[in-house]
Amino acid sequence: MNSTASITAPAQAIEGDVPGDLRADASKTSRFVFSGSVIRHEGVAGTRGFAVAPARQLHSSQTDADGPYILIAHDLTPAETQAMDLTRVSGFCTAAGGPTSHAVQVAYSLGIPTIVAAGDQVLSVPDGTVCALDGDTGTFYSGLTGDDLVAATAHRDRRATRPRARRNGGSPPVTLTGTITLASQAVELREAGADGLGLLATELLFLGREQDLADEEQHYAAYREIARAVGSAPVTLRTLDIGGDKEVPALGLPREDNSFLGVRGLRLSLRRPDLFLPQLRAAYRVARDDGAQLRLMFPMVTRVEEFLQAAETARQVQADLSAPALPLGVMVEVPACALAVDQFAGHVDFLSIGTNDLAQYLTAMSRTSADLACDVDLLHVAVTRTVRAVAETGASHGIPVSACGGLAGDPVGAIVLASLGVTALTVALPYLPDVRDALTRTDSATLATIREHALSTGGSRHLRGLVTDLLDC
């Protein structure tokens, strides 16, 4: 902990997102210094942004009526995150956790800045202490008063009113779709410029009321609300991805020593038809009743036989309901699926690369580990080479390949993914404008150069510097 704290103002054209290694290069930033009374806590960037507000510990006795606040916790589950009145939360700071955890992804989808792995000392910050949270650098400042508070507030306001990134009037080289965690966000898709919903994590719609996961009518109502808000745009429903750090006590699932390698995603759905069938029936009913342009995507697929079993179940439901056929695809996030993706090519309608889990499994680094939070690198050369291989396989079979996760929502990461050949990116709505602006400044020659480096060297630090230099950011 340092006695003198400073704020780093990030480069404005392209900024970092998830994880911390994708944050702006400090050599291209401006600084101002807080007084010695401000305490600085070093963490890891989760989602970008800058917040100034009173602190509140997770189990505080204060009420939400007290106004916006920065929430401090040891860690947060996705259920805890979404159960809050998030309109009152200016930012999240956790003592533990990883930068690509599902709790961070919930905050990311809502544009809430986050810091993880800031250490247990943040748990001693008293409720009501005015703090600043810098999601670009992963730094949390507590005890702001007087001129320090004025400076931090001015910095926040400058960020909020800064000019948009430069536009060259061109179109991005990939299709841009959105991702949401609340049904109410669906109406914002058109305004954000998204070409439909590229990923609807259906389990997140039920956080806080997990007992409804087996209720067909609850699924039907949620999907219908979203489909009507989106209109004729496509909506990709990812079937239940429960497990890992998304525990659902209401389902009474057995505890696993390593839940990220356990019965999660499609593995659970195939074992629990009481969860799988109501979800499938609801989706096909919405497609039949409203003509909604739905697609079904299965998570955590390892073997082609798993997909074929799920697809057969889906088509039986379709026939029983006299519903239209829906495109069926898989999430490519398990190395076994990525390395054998050619076996899926003759069966799936589309592929979607989940960059957070793919990086976790390829590098053997848990996305929730505070000890590894600084080491997570979504642009490790193993990840970039795998993305390229999947994209090439998809192209050779005429199958669209999208990508989602932290990389897709970071302008630099989005550019790298586009260079590797994905055809679409799924981005949280608050970050779509920055991603679009960055992509429209690219051309085929620039993308070719970036691709060469991504496949030979990789690494967030190297690729960030390369992209910002090539695009004069």
Active-site residues, by number, are: 102, 404
Please, are residues 411 and 438 in contact by the beta-carbon 8 Å criterion? yes
Token pair listed for 126: 């008293």
Token pair listed for 341: 């993706």
Token pair listed for 162: 């800064």
Compute the distance between CA of residue 416 and CA of residue 439 in angstroms, rounded to an integer: 10
Stated as kind and residue range, the H or E segment containing 219 is helix 216-230
362 burial (CB, 10 Å; 0-12 / 13-18 / 19+) is: middle
Token pair listed for 186: 């669906």
Please, are residues 178 and 198 in contact by the beta-carbon 8 Å criterion? yes
Please, are residues 27 and 137 in contact by the beta-carbon 8 Å criterion? no
Token pair listed for 368: 């929730």
Compute the distance between CA of residue 17 and CA of residue 105 in angstroms, rounded to an integer: 11
Distance of alpha carbon 465 from its chain centroid, rounded?
A: 23
Stated as kind and residue range, the H or E segment containing 313 is helix 304-321
Dihedrals φ, ψ of 344, to 5°? -85, -20
| Letter string b/e over residues 162-201, b meaning 16 or more CB atoms within 10 A of that residue's CB | eeebeeeeeebbbbbbbbbbbbebbebbeebebebbbbbb
Token pair listed for 350: 């589309």
Please, are residues 402 and 353 in contact by the beta-carbon 8 Å criterion? yes
Compute the distance between CA of residue 86 and CA of residue 77 in angstroms, rounded to an integer: 14
Residue 126's CB is within 10 A of a number of other CB atoms, namely 12
Give the residues across from 131 on adjacent strands.
53, 142
DSSP-derived pairing of the beta strands 139-142 and 294-298: unpaired
Compute the distance between CA of residue 183 and CA of residue 124 in angstroms, rounded to an integer: 36
Q: What Rg do the C-alpha atoms of the chain give, in angstroms?
A: 22
